[in-house]
């Protein structure tokens, strides 16, 4: 009996501390409740529970649906951004070559809190549903490579063509600028026919922001110019400075462009008129002389287009 009593005295403390060990063991074997630590002592990102489709649906315009989307780091900040292309639900009924239904391109940037915000929008970077000819809808793909992204198209019939528009993120500008614009044409039935390649770069079109590009007028830089356009708008369309004749000479040639300086408007006939009185500085812009479009006295005189022939 003494032995039994002795064992009983030993077992009672064991029963008291056994639950404590069981709790410790259970906690060690249970799933972790906090993010893991990695080697540099920072925590891993907590996986977002946001449904990817739902976060894009929040940006779909009324009476539109998603045509395509692509994810990638578009501004070199290490976060996943999104390119989203929309189309009108009824575009097959409402769009035609002369009046194409826009296909908005939305550039969504990821914020530090993992939310998306609309950074840029362009309604004229993607060709319309009718713009592919016999092949139908010309839209092909979005491609993202580093801080570049491209919108790719293909159309035609037996004679095929491609149209690729490429943008690049410029950190100094904190904006996306047109990088390349062009494509190729080739025969789908004659493999011996030489492909024709036509690609323009920044030397051809200068600095064009994503929000300003228009795929329908990109091959005709003068398309958006009209009577009343400012000399600054003309210089931007030309991609570089140009030279005009001074005023107060023969009316037929006063203020006409004499040299486009190998710019994009080469071949366009254009004449300016001045709209502001610059007083004693007026002699600076008159006479038989070639004056640069960025001349401060021309800018001060408020030059606008008086005549344009394409």
Asked whether residue 129 is assigned to any structural domain, the reply reads: yes
Q: How many domains are contained in the chain?
A: 2
Domain carrying residue 86: 52-212
Look at residue 185 and give its three-state secondary structure. Answer: strand
Q: In this structure, are 191 and 271 located in the same domain?
A: no
Contact 149, 74 (CB under 8 A): yes
Greatest CA separation for the chain:
135
43: in domain: no
Write out the DSSP string of 208-273.
-BGGG--TTTTT-TTTT--TT-BHHHHHHHHTS--EEE-BSS-TTTTTBEEE-TT-TTTT-EEEEE
Pairing mode of beta strands 175-187, 304-309: unpaired
Are 239 and 208 members of one domain?
A: no
- The burial class, CB within 10 Å (0-12 / 13-18 / 19+), for 293 is buried
User: What b/e readout covers 251-265, taking b as 16+ CB neighbours within 10 angstroms?
Assistant: eeebbebeebeebbb
Residue 246: inside a domain = yes
Phi, psi of 38 (to 5 degrees): -110, 175
Are 162 and 241 in the same domain? no
Q: How far apart are CA 84 and CA 78, in angstroms?
A: 19
Same domain, yes or no: 87 and 125: yes
- Strand ranges inside the chain, DSSP E: 64-72, 81-88, 105-110, 116-122, 139-145, 148-156, 159-170, 175-187, 196-201, 243-245, 257-259, 269-273, 290-292, 304-309
State the pLDDT at residue 191. 79
Kindly tell me the number of DSSP H helices and DSSP E strands found in the chain. 6, 14
One digit per residue, the tens of pLDDT, for the chain of length 310 reads 444 444 444 444 444 544 444 333 343 443 333 333 323 332 222 234 357 889 999 999 999 999 999 999 999 999 999 999 999 999 999 998 888 999 999 999 999 999 999 999 999 999 999 999 899 999 999 999 999 999 999 999 989 999 999 999 999 999 999 999 999 999 989 878 888 899 999 888 888 999 999 999 887 778 778 899 999 989 888 878 999 999 999 999 999 999 999 887 888 999 999 999 999 999 999 999 999 999 999 999 999 999 999 7
Residue 100 and residue 102: Cα distance in Å, rounded? Answer: 6
Do 249 and 103 reside in the same domain of the chain? no
Residue 279 maps to a domain: yes
Given this model, what pLDDT does residue 93 score? 95
Do both 199 and 258 map to the same domain? no
Is residue 169 in a domain? yes
Residues 56 and 188 in one domain: yes
Instruction: Kindly state whether residues 194 and 263 are assigned to the same domain.
Output: no
């Amino acid at each position: 009996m003494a032995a039994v009593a002795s064992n009983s005295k030993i077992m009672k403390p064991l029963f008291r501390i056994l639950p404590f060990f069981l709790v410790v063991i259970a906690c060690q074997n249970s799933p972790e409740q906090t993010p893991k630590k990695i080697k540099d002592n920072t925590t891993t990102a907590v996986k977002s529970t946001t449904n990817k489709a739902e976060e894009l649906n929040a940006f779909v315009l009324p009476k539109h649906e998603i045509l395509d989307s692509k994810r990638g780091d578009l501004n070199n900040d290490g976060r996943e951004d999104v390119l989203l292309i929309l189309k009108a639900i009824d575009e097959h009924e409402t769009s035609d070559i002369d009046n194409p239904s826009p296909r908005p391109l939305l550039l969504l940037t990821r914020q530090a809190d993992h939310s998306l915000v609309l950074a840029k929008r362009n309604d004229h970077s993607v060709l319309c549903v009718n713009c592919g000819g016999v092949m139908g809808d010309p839209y092909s793909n979005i491609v993202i490579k580093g801080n570049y992204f491209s919108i790719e198209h293909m159309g035609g019939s037996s004679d095929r063509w491609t149209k690729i528009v490429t943008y690049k993120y410029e950190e100094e500008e904190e904006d996306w600028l047109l990088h390349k614009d062009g494509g190729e044409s080739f025969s789908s039935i004659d493999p011996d026919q030489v492909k024709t390649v036509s690609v323009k770069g920044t030397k051809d079109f200068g600095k064009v922001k994503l929000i300003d590009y228009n795929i329908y007028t990109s091959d005709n830089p003068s398309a958006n110019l009209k009577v009343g356009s400012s000399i600054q708008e003309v210089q931007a369309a030309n991609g570089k400075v140009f030279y005009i004749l001074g005023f107060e000479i023969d009316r037929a040639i006063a203020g006409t462009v004499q040299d486009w300086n190998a710019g994009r408007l080469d071949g366009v006939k254009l004449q300016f008129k001045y709209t502001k009185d610059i007083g004693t500085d007026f002699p600076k812009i008159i006479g038989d002389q070639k004056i640069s479009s960025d001349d401060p006295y021309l800018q001060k005189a408020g030059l606008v287009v008086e005549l344009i022939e394409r």
